[in-house]
């Protein structure tokens, strides 16, 4: 056994999820792997300046609201200063009855460059981790509008087209949503 809680996030906004591993073992160290595509990863730990004490916890979130993900691990915040690639942040809001307020369990999909990026609203993961309920998508060089598809936990979907490089809030709207799958 070597690493503890993995945390996935697109720190360079290229549309590929990068992987951070925390650890609690004295001979190991935390590692950030940059996703190069086709299941190839390179160690980006030193290049990004990430270090830290041994810990189970790690989470990605855009703490400074500049469009790129920052990393919180071991009680330290590593602010990401990369610039240049497109992004979109999506905050889902349930009605509090059919869909919980934080929309836990909802999925968002964005199709770009022949592939589909998928994120799911989750709460705690790993050992003492809490995920940001605002979903972050790195869009790479995409400059035009993107279509956002929301799959709500009640089986309905919503689609809208938005411009990148912004944060959007989508509220569950049963009248605008379409049911998919079997009726409940």
CATH code of the domain occupying 86-179: 2.60.40.1120
53-74 average pLDDT score? 89
102: number of CA atoms within 13 Å, CB side? 13
Which tops the pLDDT comparison, 26 or 108? 108
d(CA 30, CA 74): 10
Q: Which of 84, 92, 111, 64 is nearest to 158 (CA)?
A: 92
Kindly give, in sequence order, each residue whose CB lies less than 8 Å from that of residue 83, ignoring residues fewer than 6 positions away: 68
Q: Tell me the C-alpha distance between 11 and 24, whole Å.
A: 23
pLDDT at residue number 56: 76
This prediction's pTM: 0.88
> Is a pLDDT exceeding 70 seen at residue 176?
no
Domain ranges of the chain: 3-78, 86-179
Q: Residues 75-85: what's their mean pLDDT?
A: 87
């Amino acid at each position: 056994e070597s690493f503890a809680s993995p945390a996935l996030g697109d720190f360079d906004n290229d549309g590929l999820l990068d992987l951070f591993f925390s650890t609690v073992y004295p001979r190991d160290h935390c590692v950030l792997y940059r996703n190069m595509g086709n299941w190839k990863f390179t160690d980006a730990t030193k290049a990004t300046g990430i270090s830290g004490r041994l810990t189970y916890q790690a989470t990605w979130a855009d703490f400074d609201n500049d469009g790129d993900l920052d990393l919180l691990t071991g009680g330290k915040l590593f602010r990401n200063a990369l610039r240049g690639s497109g992004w979109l942040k999506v905050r889902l809001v349930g009605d509090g009855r059919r869909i919980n307020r934080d929309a836990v369990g909802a999925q968002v999909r964005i199709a770009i460059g022949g592939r589909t990026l998928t994120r799911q609203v989750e709460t705690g993961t790993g050992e003492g981790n809490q995920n940001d309920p605002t979903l972050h998508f790195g869009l790479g060089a995409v400059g035009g509008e993107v279509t956002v598809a929301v799959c709500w936990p009640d089986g309905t979907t919503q689609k809208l087209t938005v411009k990148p490089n912004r944060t959007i809030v989508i509220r569950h709207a049963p009248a605008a949503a379409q049911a998919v799958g079997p009726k409940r």
